Structure 1
């Protein structure tokens, strides 16, 4: 079991996401109010706090959302979960659809330290069961 450390959205693409306390998620859409939402396989992005700590240890000051992740988690090794794995807070169900992604022309973090974790450790999911996510919710890997 893990925990949702932060929920992050942005109204436009290409900017850091800002934390919110709770967010509604919809099937065939993703997070309501987020610029990356839509009817595609990468509706919601997740990144582990432990992965962000790896980058902090390189001397960066990073807040949740700095990698444009929608959900920052703690206690789950997200990058090791296979595609098709489902995660739930007891209401919402997300299904992992992609692990990692290509970096956009070298993001600002990559340019600073020569490394970025999102391409290898960020995961993407689609919404299977809609509802509301809250900062601090437990996040379980479903059997």
Structure 2
């Protein structure tokens, strides 16, 4: 199957889940056209309250469909867009990518991965117990955040379900993703 986009989603309102669409349009330096989180500066409410002039490193949110599979197996009802992601992928280890990885999608869109999504209490308001399900510990006891990755838009373009994803790693040394 390869690395593909399985769904695209957006919402013009600040809400937890986003609507599935036939396509979304990425705008360089801003994010997903028409999405509440698009902009050069932060749009996430808690970050705006702290400093509304911060650069927006969360212009686009990607979640791997394999997380949905894992959550469904654990008894949660979740599908594409439900966790607030704009792009749902399959066949790509998003969480294992280094900071600065570029994702080339469709006919020219380019995303730079900036970091991990730090899950918040809204996840438990969506479905009780889901916060614990998207957090884990590795073999060394370190916290593992599984709720997807965030990125900025380097080149705009339309993205649709079925689009291929090409991964371009940054120069070494690679740096592990951190919450943004």
TM-score over 0.5 (shorter chain): yes
Distance in 1 between residues matched to 2:92 and 2:72, nearest whole Å: 18
Q: Is the 8 A contact 2:119 2:131 kept in 1?
A: no
- Relative to structure 1, the CA distance from residue 114 to residue 78 in structure 2 (aligned partners, 3 Å threshold; closer, same or farther) is closer
1:120 to 145, 149, 152: 145
Task: Return closer, same or farther for 1:105/1:60 CA change in 2, 3 Å cut-off.
Answer: closer
Which of 100, 113, 130 is the equivalent residue of 2:117? 100
TM-score (norm 2): 0.73
CA distance in 1, matches of 2:94, 2:20: 20
Q: Which residue of 2 aligns with 1:27?
A: 28
Structure 2: unaligned runs, 5 residues or longer: 41-55, 136-143, 170-180
Larger-gyration structure (1/2)? 2
Q: Specify the alignment match of 1:72 in structure 2.
A: 88
Question: How far apart are the structure 2 equivalents of 1:106 and 1:129?
Answer: 30
When residues 58 and 109 of structure 1 are mapped into structure 2, their CA distance, relative to the original with a 3 A threshold, is farther
Q: Distance in 2 between matches of 1:132 and 1:88?
A: 12
Question: Which structure dedicates a bigger proportion of its chain to strand?
Answer: 1
Q: Cα distance 1:108–1:131, how it changes in 2: closer, same or farther (>3 A)?
A: same
Q: Name the SS of the counterpart of 1:68 in structure 2.
A: coil
Q: Deviations over 1:56-115 (max 9, x none)?
A: 111112120111011000000100001100001241010000113141465324624552
Q: How many residues align?
A: 143
Residue of structure 1 in register with 2:6 after alignment: 5
> Is it true that 1:41 corresponds to 2:66 in the alignment?
no
Indicate the larger mover: 69-78 or 10-19.
10-19
Secondary structure at 1:108's aligned position in 2?
A: helix
Structure 1 length normalisation: TM-score?
0.90
